[in-house]
Amino acid sequence: MKAIRRFSVRPVLPTRIAALGDLSTNLRWSWHPPLRDLFESIDPERWSAVGADPVAMLSATSVEELERLAADDAFAARVDEAKESLDRYLGEDRWYQQWASEQGDAGAPSAIAYFSPEYGIAAALPQYSGGLGILAGDHLKSASDIGVPIVGVGLFYKTGYFRQSFNRDGWQQEDYPVLDPDGLPLSLLREEDGTPSVVHLKLPGGRDLRAQVWRAQVGRVPLLLLDSDIPGNDDAARAVTERLYGGGGEQRLQQEMLLGIGGVRALRLWSRLTGAPTPDVYHSNEGHAGFLAIERISEFVTGSGLTFDEALEAVRAATVFTTHTPVPAGIDRFERRLIEIYFGGDLAPAGVPLDRLLALGAETYEGGDASVFNMAVLGLRIAQRANGVSKLHGVVSRDMFDGLFPGFDDDEVPITSITNGVHGPTWVDRKVYELADRHSDAVTIDTTVLDSTESWQAMADLPRDDVWATKRQLREQLVHEARARMKASWLKRGASSAELAWTDEILDPDVLTIGFARRVPTYKRLTLMLRDPARLKKLLLDPERPIQIVIAGKSHPADETGKQLIQQMIKFTDDPEVRHRIAFLPNYDIAMAQHLYPGCDVWLNNPLRPFEASGTSGMKAALNGALNLSILDGWWDEWFDGNNGWAIPTADGVEDPDRRDDIEANALYDLIENQVAPRFYDVDGDGLPQNWLAMVMHTVSTLGPKVRASRMVREYTERLYVPAARAGWAMRDEDFAGARDLAAYSSRVREAWPKVSVDHVESSGVGDSPELGQTLHVNAYVSLDGLAPEDVEVQIAHGRTDRRGDDLHDVTTLPLTHVEGYEQGRHKFSGDLVLGTSGAFGYTVRVLPKHQGLAAPASLGLVATA
């Protein structure tokens, strides 16, 4: 296998239709059906044989045929039209341009760098394993659609993630097909003389890690992918980008160094070669890319003469960090020793002393492990702005990381939340768009911008009979797909075609269809539905109201437990008694997902609350008219409203995991039996399940506007990117005066803080039984050591108290005014608090650092309380 070097030769296109080249390499085709139609029209059979991939399609088309197409005026005109449409899409003003033009002197960023270890953009570019990658792909696509000037940074994995199949026993098999970048929609960054541009990192033992940089074009958004499989690297270095999430700790560290440090260098290359603006903001999607900050600190120290602390402030101001997992095992933690080897001695990046670097990833909180370097902790320390990915995940993350902000209430931990979204044009089935199109006069849906709030709302008015007919078509489409996949799977499992006639009959386009597909970490509980196999069987085989279930999911290759769960599931689905009603389809990926979500009536999700940070598959199903049946976790906790699906009650607090699973599984069976199935099969004289359809219309019209990734990207832009850009400029302006000032301030405050205290508090104005509306007058006497009164905020923090009364919740603060200073750094502050809430109430007086460069009061993690 090694001896053969495969490569793809790109066709030379006749001039008349040369635009097909750009049309095939810009990934916009993956979410723009007219472009796919154009390629398919060349030869529909070949199109499906090449897996609906324009680059592969052109490669598979002969020179003669291309000549013939060029001579076909009608075809050539379609190419011209498609190219004009693409150029318009790439060039015209979109939401962001309009928004930015209204910002005046405050300014708006001209480039935002988005770092992610994986990207799920299209089946034709398999560089993802699951939710994180799909989300990153949807982020880029939506940024493109609304004009946000993002540039993506990632790695190019030669074998991507694995392809899943099963052996006879239902045990997961993994294949790693080698990708040939020349056969993918990628182009190599090159120097002016044509040689590939290279970034270069030093490794221990005098070794080098070099990488070339591929560029994918995602609509308006460029995506730079670093690839270490190049001559000049030793074998181990060439293998660094071999596999997504492959290899052990050391390889993972090298991948993350390449992503973070190499990624920043790739951006510099990109600017130098194309004149693209240097990013104003750096967004680390999960902690894997955290080393980007180390490279940027080093740049500032060596290029602008800042100290480490000043550089860190400049970096922090302009960095955004998104945490994606409440599962500790999901966070990358390296042995501290490894970091010392890779970043110490001669290898220390210029201007970044090893001890400072180590401190950024140290678990300096109770229960922390002194021997590890934690990438999530690094993420929080290099970014002034951080977020979780749903409201509930925000709460969970603030609790999870509160150790970094001792003395603060969880509510005050500076991690906000932006709930994930999905890219409508990628995930909404074409038949849904066509449905909207058929009625666009009556319901004023502009199908060219179906991804707008108004269009989704207008879906409520679609005629129900047509909605129901469309849903049946989608179900039928899934049934066909499932039959073909099941047959192929069994052939691979060693059965002969003669034994497989039954696969042509599995599933039924008129039966209530439940979908369940996801990666298989334990918390997602793939096999919860098998708690009581007899009961599940009864539901599947119910003579009046049967259900059918389509399941898919991959287990990480190293996760034996996950593979056992899959095997258990497959064994159940293999049973001839039920196999026509329940199917496990191998190799869950984008291509399958695009059939699966639309074909389902119900999308099932039963994670162990609260470990599902957001979840996005249920959003994709909802956009296609499926109702969610889910544990109240992640996004569903936020947007379940009683009419858009069902909440599986959680047994939070039940300690015994077996008992908890039993309780939740029973609740699931009960819901299906007593609510879901009866409603689905309750049809009127016209065969329409009116109550079901009411829920579908409600789901699409009310969730549609919320779950869009364009909503998400707007929120990132307005709430995080733009403030980060402005904070970054404030640090850099006038030769980094802001960074120098903030660094000096931080160091002064840290030094003085041990002696800062609230010495004495007097209050008056409220008697023993306080009443609403009364005014509490407070005088606070504090010691500030050498700090000036304007260096701090002395405040009343007030809120609800719990029964024990030793913690404040939903804290609100009221700053006190400086009244006078005394000797030895003592000061009096005072203010009036009007009692505005009834119930158990408490307050305290505290001192916090105050500086305009701090994004949140808790940013420095310093507080002195009475």
Ligand X SMILES: *Cc1c(COP(=O)(O)O)cnc(C)c1O
Q: Enumerate binding residues for ligand X (CB under 6 A).
A: 130-131, 134, 518, 588-590, 593, 615-617, 620
Minimum CB distance to ligand X, residue 126 (Å): 10
Looking at the Cβ atoms of 393 and 579, the one nearer to ligand X is 393
CB of 863 to ligand X, least distance (A): 36
For residues 153 and 289, the answer to whether their CB atoms sit within 8 Å is yes
Cβ at position 164, least distance to ligand X in Å:
12
Q: What count of other Cβ atoms lies within 10 Å of the Cβ of residue 10?
A: 13
CB of 638 to ligand X, least distance (A): 14
Considering the complex, state which of residue 134 and residue 569 has its C-beta at the smaller distance from ligand X. Answer: 134
CB proximity list for 275: less than 8 A, separation 6 or greater: none
Tell me whether residue 549 or residue 590 sits nearer to ligand X (CB atom).
Answer: 590
Nearest distance from C-beta of residue 654 to ligand X, angstroms: 24
Least separation in angstroms between residue 156's CB and ligand X is 19
Instruction: Report how far Cα 258 is from the mean position of its chain's Cα atoms.
Output: 20
Cis peptide before 610 (omega within 30 of 0): yes
- Closest CB 167 distance from ligand X, rounded Å: 23
Distance between CA 322 and CA 376 in Å, rounded? Answer: 9
Counting beta carbons within 10 angstroms of the beta carbon of residue 512, is it exposed (0 to 12), middle (13 to 18) or buried (19 or more)?
A: buried
CA-wise closest residue to 676 among 513, 534, 551:
513
Sign of CA dihedral 720, 723, 729, 732: negative
Classify the phi-psi angles of 170: left when phi > 0, otherwise alpha if psi is within -120 to 50, otherwise beta. Answer: left
DSSP at 197: P
With beta carbons less than 8 A apart as the criterion, state whether 168 and 449 touch.
no
Closer CB to ligand X, residue 138 or residue 280?
138
Phi, psi of 720 (to 5 degrees): -120, -55
Q: How far, in Å, CA of 835 to CA of 833, rounded?
A: 6
Q: Looking at beta carbons only, is 471 or 518 nearer to ligand X?
A: 518
Nearer to ligand X by Cβ, of 287 and 615: the residue is 615
**Of 644 and 859, which CB lies nearer to ligand X in the complex structure?**
644
Minimum distance from residue 522 beta carbon to ligand X (Å): 14
How far apart are CB 635 and ligand X at their closest, in Å?
Answer: 9
Cα-flanking dihedrals φ and ψ of residue 397, to 5°?
-70, -40
Q: Decide whether 26 or 325 has the Cβ nearer to ligand X.
A: 325
Instruction: Give the long-range contacts of residues 16-20, CB within 8 A, separation 24 or more.
Output: 16/70, 16/71, 16/76, 16/79, 17/66, 17/69, 17/70, 17/75, 17/76, 17/79, 19/79, 19/80, 19/82, 19/83, 20/54, 20/58, 20/79
C-alpha distances out from residue 189 to 145, 318, 628, Å = 25, 26, 44
Cβ closest to ligand X, residue 462 vs residue 590 = 590
In the complex, least distance from residue 597 CB atom to ligand X, rounded to whole angstroms? 8
Separation between Cα atoms, residue 679 and residue 696, nearest integer Å? 12
- Of residues 61 and 419, the one with the C-beta less far from ligand X: 419
CA 289, chain centre distance (Å): 14
Nearer to ligand X, 616 or 650 (CB): 616
Nearest residue (CB) to ligand X, 616 versus 644? 616
* Min dist. Cβ of residue 32 to ligand X (A): 18
Residue 773 is which amino acid?
G
Strand partners, 130: none
- Minimum Å gap between C-beta 490 and ligand X is 22
Q: Which is nearer to ligand X, 243 or 518 (CB)?
A: 518
Q: How far is the CB of 619 from ligand X (least distance, A)?
A: 8
590/808 with CB nearer ligand X:
590
Q: What are phi and psi of 773, to 5 degrees?
A: 95, -15
Q: For residue 57, list its beta bridge partners.
A: none
Element (H, E) at 71: helix 63-71
Q: What angle do CA 487, 427, 568 make, to 5 degrees?
A: 40
Residue 616 C-beta: closest distance to ligand X, Å? 4
**What torsion do the CA atoms of 437, 440, 443, 448 make, to the nearest 10 degrees?**
80
